[in-house]
Amino acid sequence: MVGFKVGQKVVYPNHGIGTIEQIEQKQIGATSLPFYTLRLASTNSVVLVPVANAGEVGLRSPISSGECEMLLKHLADDFTNAASDWKDRFKEFTDKMRTGDIFSVSDVLKSLTYLSHIKPLSFREQRMLERARYLVISELAAACRQPECKVEPRVEEALVRACACHDRRPARARVAAGAAAGH
């Protein structure tokens, strides 16, 4: 079981960075259970997460400062094509976003950024693109201890490189890679 302390920054899947404000006992029926009181940076709202379920919910520490460069490199790397049917694509991306894994979220960010250059995204995909961008930038800013305005251009630059790299792949290789990935 992962233990978090009061004042610690954590990542809450699909919502981003938050801070543990307190660990309090709540009466649920006849039992008293400990809960993390988590304040989300994006909305300033408070979420209660049962300490016993923190792992299942996907609550985790932000990436380390050493992983910042790994994430930026990952963002700049080529990627596999997403499903062409928007419903399949949306389900695949939703599943990746729910994992809370920032590298999976960055895959969604790359794919949706690339798609947005080719055609207009649906309202739901546009919202998911914005959410993925926010999650990646806010976690990088927290992990690298830099303001978001310093991180954002680096993320944009990495995305431009990933899209250019993807465009340079021969069409046959892109189709083959998509087929190999089950798309």
Gap between the Cα atoms of 71 and 123, Å rounded: 27
Q: What is the mean pLDDT of residues 21-41?
A: 93
Cβ neighbour number for residue 40 with a 10 Å cutoff:
15
Question: Which single residue is written with the structure tokens 């709202």?
Answer: 45
How is residue 171 written in tokens? Answer: 């069409």
Gap between the Cα atoms of 67 and 100, Å rounded: 15
Q: What type of residue sits at position 105?
A: V
Helices (H), 32-122: 54-57, 65-76, 86-99, 102-118
Q: Contact at 8 Å (CB) between 16 and 138?
A: yes
CATH T-level fold of 65-180? Methane Monooxygenase Hydroxylase; Chain G, domain 1 (1.20.58)
> What is the per-residue pLDDT across 36-68, written as a single tens digit (0 to 9) for each?
999 999 899 999 999 999 988 889 999 998 899
Q: How confident is the model at residue 171 (pLDDT cuts 50, 70, 90)?
A: low
CATH 2.40.10.170 fits 9-57, yes or no: yes
Q: Contact at 8 Å (CB) between 109 and 75?
A: yes
Laid out side by side, the sheet with 9-12 consists of: 9-12, 16-28, 31-40, 46-50
How is residue 102 written in tokens? Answer: 């920032």
pLDDT mean across residues, the chain: 89
Q: How confident is the model at residue 167 (pLDDT cuts 50, 70, 90)?
A: confident
> What is the per-residue pLDDT across 60-107, written as a single tens digit (0 to 9) for each?
999 998 899 999 999 999 998 888 888 899 999 999 998 889 999 999
Distances (CA, A) of 54 to 27, 144, 153, 159: 18, 24, 33, 32
Q: How confident is the model at residue 179 (pLDDT cuts 50, 70, 90)?
A: very low
Q: Model pTM?
A: 0.85
Q: How confident is the model at residue 170 (pLDDT cuts 50, 70, 90)?
A: low
Domain residue limits, the chain: 9-57, 65-180
What values do phi and psi take at 35, rounded to 5? Answer: -130, 145
